[in-house]
Amino acid sequence: ILSVMSLGAFRAYSIAKREAELLRNVTLAFEMIRRDLVGSVYKDPATGNAIAGVNFLGIDQTDAGGKADDKLRFFALLSPDSSARADLTSVNYKREESGGVKRLARASLETGPSGLPPLLLDGVETFEPLHFYVTAFDVTYLSSPAGSFQASYDASSAGRLPRAARIRLSVQIPGGKEKTFTYTVNLAME
């Protein structure tokens, strides 16, 4: 009886430990996204002019199973205090599958003083995993204080950054269940 009880307690402890690690990783992923979004820019820091082309793009997508599979692409400053174009970096977030495991991944690419980094980074090999077993990645955007969150966002057509971005991550937890986490980031407006 004692060995059966001990085995049950050990299994429960193991599951609780894995769930705690999962929660910690979700928190770290949200913090990484928050730091990037807070540093996102619409205007060229060197000239003060709007950056030509799409420079903040939230894409609303779903996968074959109907799960949210959004992408987020934008320019950000490596340092929030910077005013140099040389410090611009392109940041992409997407859900991807590697070795049968779906994960949230991030890629970034810096530029030199001569130009802008490419916004579309799908071809680069620098995508780093932020979180594994991500079953859905959904981002919605608040364009004005009186508005409601919308599924996609294009700063080039809107003429400004969104006021806020709400991120939802659905993650498979031990036992095969799914848990959804939501985090809202307020973006600085010029």
pLDDT of residue 188: 63
Give the SS3 label for residue 51: coil
Residue 125 has pLDDT above 70, yes or no: no
Confidence of residue 190 (pLDDT cuts 50, 70, 90): very low
Q: In which element (H, E) is residue 141 found?
A: strand 134-142
pLDDT of residue 34: 93
CB 161 within 8 A of CB 42: yes
Residue 7 has pLDDT above 80, yes or no: no
Q: What is the pTM of this model?
A: 0.85
Give the tokens for residue 57: 């793009």
> pLDDT tens-digit profile of 16-27?
677 777 788 889
Give the SS3 label for residue 96: strand
Mean pLDDT across the stretch 168-175?
A: 86
Q: Report the alpha-carbon angle 118-123-126, nearest 5.
A: 85
**Which residue's entry shows tokens 């599958």?**
97
> pLDDT tens-digit profile of 15-74?
667 777 778 888 999 999 999 999 898 888 878 888 877 889 999 999 999 999 999 999
In this structure, are strands 149-150 and 178-186 parallel, antiparallel, or unpaired? unpaired
**Which residue's entry shows tokens 């294009």?**
154
